Amino acid sequence: MPKNLMKWLSALMLVFLLAACNSAQEPEKQDKDTEKQAPKTESYTVKDDTGTDITFDKVPETVVSLAPSNTEILFALGVGDKVVGGTDFDNYPEEAQNIERVSDSMNINAEKIIGLKPDVVIAYTIGEADTLNPLKDAGIPVFVIQSATSFDDVYGDIDQIAKVMGVEEKGKELVDDIRGKIAGVEEKISNVSDKKTVYFEIDPTPFTTGKNTFQQEILNAAGVENIFADQEGWIQVSEEEVIKRNPAIIATTVNYVEDPVGDIKGRAGWDQLDAVKSDQIFELDPDVTSRPGPRIGEAVELVAKMAYPDLFK
């Protein structure tokens, strides 16, 4: 494949990955057997992340979700059966794969959404702000969740969506469950004094994550040291700089090339890396480690097990 085409494809896949995993900037911010809350009988108001107060006369019976992470939250809150529209990337839980597709996470099919007549659209901030105007003009309540960049943001998202859907207690339980899972991992790695260094590859250009990102918080909670934590946001780096920083572990979430591990091993000069010499290159599920949703505890555990497998036997 021509080199320029490969770079273009890599960049395109990165756009879809970051869109699907809901990566933007700042916000405020499972289903166990629990009794369902009594339905709200009076109108109520919830503030979204644009500062807009959205008033509901009754709990929504039909929902369109425009981000995979929010779809996962809805299912984890036990209201997944109310989701009538989602994105091309909604693949978890398995039931989400049967939802009508109304967005590729970058663009929405406003006509199809309006035709579904949802009681609310759970949207998020990416692309042009006026993208959502046709839905608002059609009288559909649009509740905007700004993309989470921290665990606290995720907890805030869960709280907001739980309020919209009239399941506030379930939202609190879900947050407690997630916090408990992360605390359990942190307890297992609490005695680690020599943290493993990691290069976290999102795209083979190479593209990685730095500080103030959702992935960085996962790495922090898992007790590993990101070799690019001194840089900000999602960044393209040079292969030479990766070699210079010499990580002990390489984690890749690239799942759109035939052999991502073999690709990494075959790069010129990368055979010098400690991670390559010791065969410490791991493929991680990009959905689990990139989506700011209810599986963040699973993401932390996944990374910690990768770095310190003996602590999880």
- Amino acid 128: pLDDT: 60
Judged against a pLDDT cut of 60, whether residue 113 lies above it is answered with yes
- pLDDT given at position 105: 79
Q: What is the pLDDT of residue 126?
A: 58
pTM: 0.85
Mean pLDDT of the chain: 89
* Burial of 88 per CB tally in 10 Å (0-12, 13-18, 19+): middle
304 or 6, higher pLDDT: 304
> Which region among 32-46, 155-169, 179-193 has the lowest average model confidence (pLDDT)?
32-46
pLDDT band at 127, cuts 50/70/90?
low
- Mind listing the pLDDT tens digit for each residue in 138-184? 999 999 999 888 999 999 999 999 999 999 999 999 999 999 999 99
- List of domains in the chain: 41-184 (3.40.50.1980), 192-312 (3.40.50.1980)
pLDDT digits (tens, 9 = 90+) for 211-242: 999 899 999 999 999 999 999 999 999 999 99
Confidence (pLDDT) at 125? 75
